Amino acid sequence: MEASLLAQLLNAIGSGGIRIVDLTQPLETGTPIIQLPPDFGASKPFRLEEISRYDSRGPAWYWNNFSCGEHTGTHFDAPIHWVTGKDYSQNATDTIAAERFIAPACVIDVSRQVAKDPDFLLTVQQVESWEKQHGRIEAGSWVLMHTGWSKRKSASDFLNIGEDGAHVPGPHPDLVPFLAKERDVVGWGSEGVGTDAGQAFRFNPPFPCHSGMHGSNKFGLASLTNLDKLPPKGAVLIAAPLKIVGGSGSPCRVLALVQGRA
Ligand code: MN
């Protein structure tokens, strides 16, 4: 008898025919978080507080309290995160249909361009030329921008904030409606601290990735890593936020399933 589909999947994972690539950054006290001007509310950094560790507070058990903003480390942005996405039904971490957390990924490598220009913006033209090589971005796909940014290990290099704001690559404002409407993607993923470019507060509209993606009921993933281990097409992402009731996002473990041995 032919093995069931799930047994085939497990066999492939067990034999290495399908690899699991962890796209998640470690979550710790030093995890960089987005910096907004002081007029705005601030997201708290990750904190871990020990409750007990096999001691008088709990002789046989170790556990911690943790706290952080929803948008900390490798995390998921839900449509309700932005004012443009606030009126969709099923737009929060607890109400999004779970099927939408599993989706294929298109990975666009711009690491060479970003090495020369931290303000690099991915354009429609560049995506269309990627599609000529790798095929059209299918509806329901993630588009992940592989910049190499996650190799910046110190918080100051990663956030890259100058006197005129942050300098981090992202999507060109024109690319967002193209991906959301003409390609009907499930969302956009970046290696930077947020989904938008560092200078996106100056763009028209400001923060076009947040505004346009969430305004089209699409998602975001930020602070991804290991995108260099993914093929341009063919990986499947599992990216599920915590089921925070009414949540705008949450840290999440993002896993990619990739066919073929490393
Ligand atoms: Mn976010």
Tokens of 13: 């994972």
The answer, yes or no, to whether residue 37 has pLDDT greater than 80, is yes
In the chain, pLDDT over 90 holds for what percent of residues?
96
Average pLDDT, the chain: 97
Q: What's the 258 CA to ligand 1 centre distance in angstroms? A: 25
The fold adopted by the segment(s) 19-42+70-259 is Glucose Oxidase; domain 1 (3.50.30)
The answer, yes or no, to whether residue 81 has pLDDT greater than 80, is yes
- Return the pLDDT at 1: 59
Q: What's the 223 CA to ligand 1 centre distance in angstroms? A: 9
- Return the pLDDT at 17: 97
The answer, yes or no, to whether residue 27 has pLDDT greater than 70, is yes
Pairing of strands 142-146, 102-109: parallel
Q: CA nearest 220: which of 46, 95, 90, 82?
A: 82
Q: What's the 130 CA to ligand 1 centre distance in angstroms? A: 26
* pLDDT (mean) for 186-208: 97
What count of residues does the chain have?
Answer: 262
Q: What's the 218 CA to ligand 1 centre distance in angstroms? A: 13
Place of tokens 């994972």: 13
Least confident of 33-42, 59-68, 119-128, 184-193: 33-42
Catalytic residue from among 71, 75, 81, 214: 81
Active site residue 81: yes
* 56-74: pLDDT as tens digits: 999 999 999 999 999 999 9
